[in-house]
Amino acid sequence: MARVTPAALREAAEVLGFRERASLNEICRKYREEIKKWHPDISNQDPRESHEMTIRLKAAYDLLMDYCMNYPFSFRIDDLAQHLEKNPLDFWMERFGDDPIWR
């Protein structure tokens, strides 16, 4: 895998419309949705704009998929237990619970 920067990955995620996290399935689904919307053969947008956006979407998708497919996962029992035992509500509270918008 070619070395990529965090900024390049962040930009690729933004092109596809992701703010924080996404699964491989979500990346694939979002790419298919966006490419259907922007592909020059289908889009009602300006053909030049559609072409450019299609190129950006494909490059973003390729970068994210390459990164995700080559990301090393830990199968150590402690790492798996820590990840799998986390309650989604606890995760949300740790991440956003103190944000004043939710008060």
1 confidence band (pLDDT: 50, 70, 90): very low
What CATH number did the domain enclosing 39 receive? 1.10.287.110
Q: Mean pLDDT over residues 35-52, rounded?
A: 92
In a domain, 86, yes or no: no
What is the tally of structural domains in the chain?
A: 1
The range of the structural domain enclosing residue 50 comes to: 6-74
Long-range pairs, 25-30, Cβ under 8 A, ≥24: 27/61, 27/64, 27/65, 27/68
Q: What is the pLDDT of residues 19-37, one digit of tens each?
A: 888 999 999 999 999 999 9
In a domain, 20, yes or no: yes
Percent of the chain exceeding pLDDT 90 equals 50
Residue type, 2: A
In a domain, 96, yes or no: no
pLDDT at 12: 96
**DSSP-assigned letters across all residues of 3-24:** ---HHHHHHHHHHHT-SS---H
Query: Could you identify the residue written with the tokens 């309650």?
Result: 87
In a domain, 85, yes or no: no
